[in-house]
Amino acid sequence: MNKDLIAIAIDGPAGAGKSTVAKEIAKKLNLEYIDTGAMYRAYTLKVLENGLDPKNENEVLRLLDNTEITFLDNHIYLDGVIVDDKIRESIVNQNVSYVSSYPEVRKKMVELQQKMASKNNVIMDGRDIGTVVLPNASHKFYITAKPEERGKRRYKEFVDKGDTEIKLEDIVEEIKKRDEIDSTREESPLRIPDDAIVIDSTNLTVDEVVDLIIELIKGEN
Ligand code: DC
């Protein structure tokens, strides 16, 4: 890692508000925001669109070498096509934990992420940023919230987009299942980095979390 560059690592479980918070901090501190979950989602989308089984590791790895995932102007591109909305669909939510559990998939994404952090001042969010991707990050945070609250936030996002079919209980269940897979997988499981500051956002607004993190960053300098 380039010591002259700023690297802020934000880890935590699904629906904790990491990406909303990280985007806002990126704007305020003029950093590049890198959503690493979106990268695993984009590859999951590719696996699904090609009719491959996300639970079959050999099938999943088949397309890895021929896949290009890039960020440009706050959009994510899969093989040159913007997939911002498609990667948020339920079918991707249900399968991304399987695809992201395979070591070869993680190796490719981590290399891409480290390359991005070697060129720009970044704020990166995910599950293994402070532990694996940027172990020497200048600042590390772990944002969490109770599963029921995280489920409510995801539910609101779907409802705001006009999805009336979705049920809150199903989302909370899916979040708990993802927590379980993400934190018990063998390869880079979700865990709190030793040197991270933990923020429980259950009873905090986005602005409160953003202000708190910026204060902590400034205080640490
Ligand atoms: O943050 P998210 O919900 O968009 O992440 C989608 C999935 O990707 C999540 O279930 C776990 C996986 N992930 C990961 O394994 N490592 C990361 N750095 C980011 C996400």
Q: What are the backbone dihedrals phi and psi of residue 75, each rounded to the nearest 5 degrees, phi first?
A: -120, 150
Q: What is the pLDDT of residues 75-105, one digit of tens each?
A: 999 999 999 999 999 899 999 999 999 999 9
The DSSP symbol for 126 reads E
Burial class (CB in 10 A: 0-12, 13-18, 19+), 207: exposed
CA dihedral 70, 112, 175, 131 (to 10 degrees): -150
Mean pLDDT, rounded, of the chain = 94
146 residue type, one letter: K
- Residue of the CA atom closest to atom 15 of ligand 1: 100
pLDDT of res. 42 = 98
- Residue of the CA atom closest to atom 14 of ligand 1: 127
Sign of CA dihedral 101, 102, 105, 111: positive
As a whole number of angstroms, the longest Cα–Cα distance in the chain is: 50
- Our mutation pick for probing the ligand 1 site, out of 76, 109, 127, counting the most ligand atoms within 8 A of Cβ, is 127
Q: What is the pLDDT of residues 171-220, one digit of tens each?
A: 999 999 989 988 998 888 999 999 999 999 999 999 999 999 999 999 86
pLDDT of res. 187 = 87
- Our mutation pick for probing the ligand 1 site, out of 96, 140, 175, counting the most ligand atoms within 8 A of Cβ, is 96
Q: What is the pLDDT of residues 14-32, one digit of tens each?
A: 889 999 999 999 999 999 9
- Residue of the CA atom closest to atom 6 of ligand 1: 37
How remote is the CA of residue 176 from the centroid of ligand 1, in Å?
A: 14
How do the residues of the chain divide into helix, strand and coil, expressed in percent and rounded to 5?
Answer: 50, 15, 35
Q: Scanning the structure block, which residue is given the tokens 């950093």?
A: 31
